[in-house]
Chain A
């Protein structure tokens, strides 16, 4: 099997992600002004929004990889879904932690059973279950198929999370960026929007760097298994 991203390109991706992370930290912590109502606690949003959008992207890749695996039965698609699920769980867990830390000074509580928060916790549980399921079923192709079905079902939670703030009366505010009635620049101070955009790009680059490493690790693990089996014959 061949690595999908050549080593030097992976290095560039990692270096670019690191530069943007540093610029994002400067912009988010120093350059952007504090929010008129939330004060400095609002700076947590420069992590919170990129984290959840990265998690959504990751679970979208789980969805794509799972559909392709069920259709074509190619190991590569299963490795993609598995790798994306692992990193997606990490970003979802971080989103919940960031939201909780932001919630304490803003709402006065670390956690509340709000529709969006609860659905995000369910998303995390589904994909933790996805990872556990893979390790619980011994037969590999059965584990991959069962995980693919769960991955597709799990992804369907994301539109529910997005729409939850419209469908139910919730404590969580409606989206500030992905809203149909207003463009983001009409709604957010330009310095705040820039901080958010830089951090979002930094998270996406970091995500693809982590995914390329995790995907290659999956390919190598598969190669080791196959070669060990060939030697055993």
Chain B
């Protein structure tokens, strides 16, 4: 492999791994946001039912 080959291999692995981590973090983040919203609406419903 040429020296540029090693350079592109390293840059490719680093940036694709960081992008994958960022996307997985965003996915987990959105899932948690949805869950918080669901809990809030369930709590609202419960409050209305108690009234």
Partners in one complex: yes
Residues of A whose CB lies within 8 Å of any CB of B are 25, 29, 38-41, 43-44, 47-48, 51, 90, 94, 97-98, 101-102, 104-105, 206, 210, 213-214, 216-217, 220-221, 223-224, 227-228, 231
A-binding residues in B (CB < 8 A) = 1, 3-4, 6-7, 9-11, 13-14, 17-18, 21-22, 25-26, 28-29, 32-33, 35-36, 39, 42-43, 46
- Contact A220:B13 (CB < 8 A) given known A90-B21, A210-B22, A213-B25: no
Kindly provide the distance from the CB of B32 to the nearest chain A CB, expressed in whole angstroms.
4
- With a cutoff of 8 Å between Cβ atoms, the chain A residues found around residue B46 in the complex are 231
A94 touching B32 by the CB < 8 A rule? no
Q: Are A90 and B3 within 8 A (Cβ)?
A: no
Is B6 touching A210 in the complex (CB atoms < 8 A)?
A: no
Q: Is the interface of A mostly helix, strand, loop or mixed?
A: helix
The answer to whether B3 touches A40, judged by C-beta atoms less than 8 angstroms apart, is yes
List the A side residues contacting B9 at CB < 8 Å: 101
